[in-house]
Amino acid sequence: MNLIVDVGNTLVKIAVFQEDKLLEKQTVEISKFEETHKKIFENYPKIQKCILATVGRLPKEVMISLEKQTEVLILDASLKFPFHNRYATPTTLGVDRMALVAASVKHYPQHNVLIIDAGSCITYDFITHQNNYLGGAISPGLRLRYKSLHNLTANLPLLDTEMPKSITGDSTAAAIHSGVVLGIIKEIDGVIDDYRKKYPDLTVILTGGDVNFLSKQLKNSIFANSNFLLEGLNFILEFNTN
């Protein structure tokens, strides 16, 4: 039984896997992680190993507590991965992107796969059917675009995410929704179209926090999977410990 811990800047995603089966997942604030992970071990005493992926930072005492309860593998570029990393600067590749590519190898081996992670940023990662990870792209996500318009201008309001009724906004709020939401939808569809011109058999995965909001709006055929990152982390853990 495996414990998966994905630490962001403010939130921690926690999951428990029995082999490939997801038994439980939670998302908590970093400040509540210690309390939560202790309850996880009480509920799943057969947890034997853990993988920790972090872009944020856990308090030292929390790390010590975690390591006392199970074997902890920290995700970084020094681990073994189930793909050939052709990124020019592999040590700068985000751990979340490593995990997403690993998940694509697990679920779609020997396929040309484009993984799109729609979260705070939108990341695009491409791996060939020959198992070569080539890289991708990074652009601002939905909330980052809304916040940038508000924070970097004098008069534009900060709005909640909303699907626009028309491409032509007839008010400032409607124009912002059109620019942000439709802009992202057009961007994602455009990137997919460009990849498909070169790789007609392309498999496209959409994941991340905004997957449910965006998936039904895209014209391209995709597979939506909100657990893709967690599944990739579990696969990397198994790949390095078995």
Q: What residues are designated binding site for K(+)?
A: 117
The Cα 18–Cα 30 span in angstroms is 24
Among this protein's residues, is 20 annotated catalytic? no
Q: Which amino acid is at 127?
A: I
Length of the chain: 242
What residue numbers does the annotated binding site for substrate cover? Answer: 87, 94-97, 172
What residue numbers does the annotated binding site cover? Answer: 6-13, 87, 94-97, 117, 120, 172
DSSP classification of residue 88: S
> Which helix (H) or strand (E) segment is 208 a member of?
none
Contact (Cβ atoms closer than 8 angstroms) between residue 102 and residue 80: no
Active-site annotation holder among 20, 76, 96, 125: 96
The Cα 98–Cα 219 span in angstroms is 27
Backbone angles phi, psi at 74, to 5 degrees: -95, 125
What residue numbers does the annotated binding site for ATP cover? Answer: 6-13, 120
Catalogue the active-site residues: 96
